[in-house]
Amino acid sequence: METLSACTLHHRFVSGAISAKEIVQNLLHHIKQYDSKIGAYLLVLESDLYAQADYLDEKRQRGGRLGILAGVPFAIKDNMHVKGHITTCGSKFLTNFVAPFDATVVRRIKEEDGFVVGKTNLDEFAMGSSCENSALQVTRNPWNLDLVPGGSSGGSAAAVAASMASIGLGSDTGGSIRLPAAFCGISALKPTYGRISRFGLVAFGSSLDQIGPMAYDCDDIELAMQALGVHCERDSTSLPGESFVPVSFEAKFGQGMRVGVPWQFLEALPLESRKVFDETIAHLKEMGGHIVDVDLSILKYALAVYYILGTAELSTNLARFDGIRYGLRSERAGNLDEVYDFSREEGFGDEVKRRILLGTFVLSSGYQDAYYKQAQKVRRIIIDKFAEAFRACDFVAMPVSTGAAFPFGAKKDPLSMYLEDIYTVGANLAGLPALTIPSGHLEDGRPLGVQLVAPQRHDAEIISVGKQFQQRTNYHKRRPNFQRGGLS
Amino acid sequence: MTKVTKENVRYLAQLCRIACSEAKVDSLLEDFQNVVSYVEQLNEIDTSETEPCSYVTLGHTETPLREDIVEEPLKKEEVMANAPSTIAGLVRVPSVLQSS
């Protein structure tokens, strides 16, 4: 099956070259053929898709207004609500939970005539960097089934990489959109904090979480942002005022651009990844980029800050899973205390428990100043250092991760898994937009990604750079070979 | 370096309401100690002149409130459909007070 470019598919549908029903039939056929091996979807909304296709074909025939996403299939990470369907968060705690309302992002997709294809796998409550923490299913990397797809939005990344959706929605608290996108060789945006509504997203770290699109290329990312980057009055952290508006590379950077690179922070980058990154820098130079050395050495502390603030927030957010109103209730519980204690013991996996415990620790009496408050202060220093860097450059370029996708079970101790996010967490701590694009492949074919990190609300600017980059390069066009050797 | 003990882990598990077998306490302890030691590197940084940061959106200093307009709420049956146990449209829980 050819790649499912959202923009192409939309135009083909609008022009009548393909019907909505054909789109759905082809897509479902493809999913049935391959997803048993990849495991991207936890649920596929087959009957909803046919109903939506009939509605769209009828609407086009009678000349009704078609939304900007008409004909575009979306995969939704299973921590966002689609009314009437499960939201499991990849957890045993929520296997039976049925969402009573649509997340704002899902409402926007429906309003703009997109297809909601299904719910995709994730690390439990989005906590993880490989997708191995899902309590429900294994998701494999379409480039090589022995490798993890990255996490936590591994299902959405694998679905897009394997052409089982045009656009995947992920959520990114410390790198959960960018890391799987890089591991699966696709483009993705972690937008400015507040750019996309979080209403209907199950909260993890409320000051860090951000929903974003994952797609074949930056044209598709831009299309998704036009539909999703709007103010939402049901999310009090939603950016007020103007919606996302695309900008042209020519208008913004036609006269040149200043690209910051934190060379000192990247000292530990392994040689093979460094080679790919140097190629990226060469491309950016050819695009008119003036390379500036920026000092972001403070980012070596970002992961420690993230693990204190992120766990503090998640331990608070996950307090709502008490076994009373929804989700799992332990059958062993004989009294109210046991409902809490046993339901949470049975419902949460090890990583979630570890993080709740850590969050409870850093907020507990006697430790709060030493850990939580100190982390909040270092967060401010990180924000200030980014602001300083952005006085010298328009955006910062750096790798998404130190290496490419790794085999299942390769990162056994939690800390080595946490270190996968060493380059990504900074953007979350400072609320900055970060665009990931495929930037090359290792000798064994595994893809790598680069991220462009910009000041707040400069989402459109980095997308314009990404689009220009993809006009000059072919990295994003190389697709996994999962139909043949990869899946045999 | 803060030394984490089994006692600490048991106490934290109790605070966050997760029942924890002794075997689980043991397995959590080592990972927990490693992570705590890792995050303590933040103590190297002088923050005596820095204010803590809890909000990251630039130029966004207050929580906006939407207009207080009456809307159609979710249907009670739809919301209650997710409750593990109900009685007469209410959530049922095991008895809170035990008879002696």
Residue of A nearest to B92 (CA): A324
Average pLDDT over residues B43-68: 84
The beta-carbon contacts of A315-321 under 8 Å, at least 24 apart in sequence, are: A315/A355, A315/A356, A315/A357, A315/A358, A315/A359, A315/A360, A315/A363, A315/B16, A316/A359, A316/A363, A317/A203, A317/A204, A317/A205, A317/A206, A318/A125, A318/A348, A318/A352, A318/A356, A319/B16, A321/A93, A321/A94, A321/A347, A321/A348
Any A CB within 8 A of B94 CB: yes
Residue B99 has a pLDDT of: 67
> What's the gap between Cα A142 and its chain centre?
17
Which member of B12, B31, B82 has the closest CB to residue A98?
A: B82
Cis amide prior to A197 (ω within 30 degrees):
no
Average pLDDT of chain A, as a whole number: 96
Proportion of chain A above pLDDT 90, given as a percent = 95
Crossing angle between the packed helical segments B6-15 and B22-39, to the nearest 10 degrees: 100
pLDDT band at A322 (very low <50, low <70, confident <90, very high): very high
Number of cross-chain residue pairs from A and B with Cβ atoms under 8 Å apart: 172
pLDDT band at A3 (very low <50, low <70, confident <90, very high): low
Residue A240 has a pLDDT of: 87
Average pLDDT over residues A358-382: 95
Collect all residues of chain B within an 8 Å Cβ-Cβ radius of residue A456. 57-58
Give the CATH number of domain A6-256+433-443+454-487: 3.90.1300.10
**pLDDT of A99 higher than 80:** yes
- Are A208 and A174 within 8 A, CB to CB? yes
Residue A225 has a pLDDT of: 98
Residues 205-224 of A with CB under 8 A from B: 207
Quick check: helix, strand or coil at residue A201?
Answer: strand
Could you give the CA distance from residue A403 to residue A28 in angstroms, rounded to a whole number? Answer: 33
Rounded alpha-carbon distances, angstroms, from residue A298 to A265, A302, A387? 8, 7, 13
Collect all residues of chain A within an 8 Å Cβ-Cβ radius of residue B65. 236
Residue of A nearest to B21 (CA): A345
Residue of B nearest to A382 (CA): B53
Based on DSSP, count helices (H) and strands (E) in chain B, helices before strands: 3, 2
H or E stretch including A435? strand A434-441
Range with the lowest mean pLDDT among A199-203, A226-230, B34-38? B34-38
CB contact under 8 A, B53 and A379: yes
Average pLDDT over residues A238-266: 96
Range with the lowest mean pLDDT among A12-26, A144-158, A213-227, B22-36? B22-36
Could you give the CA distance from residue A405 to residue A141 in angstroms, rounded to a whole number? Answer: 8
**pLDDT of A362 higher than 70:** yes
Residue B55 has a pLDDT of: 82
Continuous H helices in A298-447: 302-317, 336-347, 350-363, 374-392, 414-418, 425-430
Our CA-based measurement puts residue B14 at a distance from the nearest CA of chain A, in whole angstroms, of 8
pLDDT band at B64 (very low <50, low <70, confident <90, very high): confident
Higher pLDDT, residue A431 or A486: A431
Residue A485 has a pLDDT of: 47
Our CA-based measurement puts residue A328 at a distance from the nearest CA of chain B, in whole angstroms, of 7
pTM of the complete model: 0.97
Residue A26 has a pLDDT of: 96
Residue A487 has a pLDDT of: 41
Residue B61 has a pLDDT of: 65
- Give domain B1-44's CATH number out of 1.10.1200.10, 1.10.20.60, 1.10.260.40, 1.20.120.10: 1.10.20.60
Ranges of each domain in chain B:
1-44
Crossing angle between the packed helical segments A374-392 and A302-317, to the nearest 10 degrees: 130
Could you give the CA distance from residue A54 to residue A384 in angstroms, rounded to a whole number? Answer: 52
Could you give the CA distance from residue A347 to residue A260 in angstroms, rounded to a whole number? Answer: 45
Half-sphere CA count of A270, side-chain side, radius 13 A: 9
Which member of A305, A319, A323 has the closest CB to residue B42?
A: A305
pLDDT band at A486 (very low <50, low <70, confident <90, very high): very low
Our CA-based measurement puts residue B53 at a distance from the nearest CA of chain A, in whole angstroms, of 5
Could you give the CA distance from residue A303 to residue A486 in angstroms, rounded to a whole number? Answer: 34
Mutation choice for B interface testing from A357, A413, A422 by most B CBs within 10 A: A357
- Are A141 and A149 within 8 A, CB to CB? yes
Residue B60 has a pLDDT of: 65
CB contact under 8 A, A418 and B12: no
Residue B63 has a pLDDT of: 73
CB contact under 8 A, B8 and A361: yes
CB contact under 8 A, B39 and A371: yes
Crossing angle between the packed helical segments A218-228 and A459-472, to the nearest 10 degrees: 160
- pLDDT tens readout for residues A408-465: 999 988 989 999 999 999 999 999 999 999 999 999 999 999 999 999 999 999 999 9
Residues 2-61 of B with CB under 8 A from A: 2, 8-9, 12-13, 15-20, 27-28, 31-32, 34-36, 38-43, 45, 47, 50-58, 60
Give me the residue label for tokens 């070596």: A300
CB contact under 8 A, A237 and B83: no
Residues 432-471 of A with CB under 8 A from B: 456-457
Collect all residues of chain A within an 8 Å Cβ-Cβ radius of residue B93. 324, 336, 339
pLDDT band at B98 (very low <50, low <70, confident <90, very high): confident
Rounded alpha-carbon distances, angstroms, from residue A203 to A208, A235, A313? 10, 12, 9
Which member of A98, A239, A418 has the closest CB to residue B81?
A: A98
**pLDDT of A484 higher than 90:** no
Average pLDDT of chain B, as a whole number: 89
> What's the gap between Cα A234 and its chain centre?
21
Residue A2 has a pLDDT of: 57
How is A150-177 classified by DSSP, letter by letter? -SSSHHHHHHHHTTS-SEEEEE-SSSTT
Could you give the CA distance from residue A210 to residue A432 in angstroms, rounded to a whole number? Answer: 10
ipTM: 0.94
CB contact under 8 A, B42 and A361: no
Quick check: helix, strand or coil at residue A395?
Answer: strand
Quick check: helix, strand or coil at residue A76?
Answer: strand
Residue A170 has a pLDDT of: 98
Any B CB within 8 A of A97 CB: yes
Could you give the CA distance from residue A40 to residue A159 in angstroms, rounded to a whole number? Answer: 6
Residue B2 has a pLDDT of: 86
Residue A386 has a pLDDT of: 98
Which residue type is seen at A376?
Q
- pLDDT tens readout for residues B20-45: 999 999 999 988 899 999 999 999 99
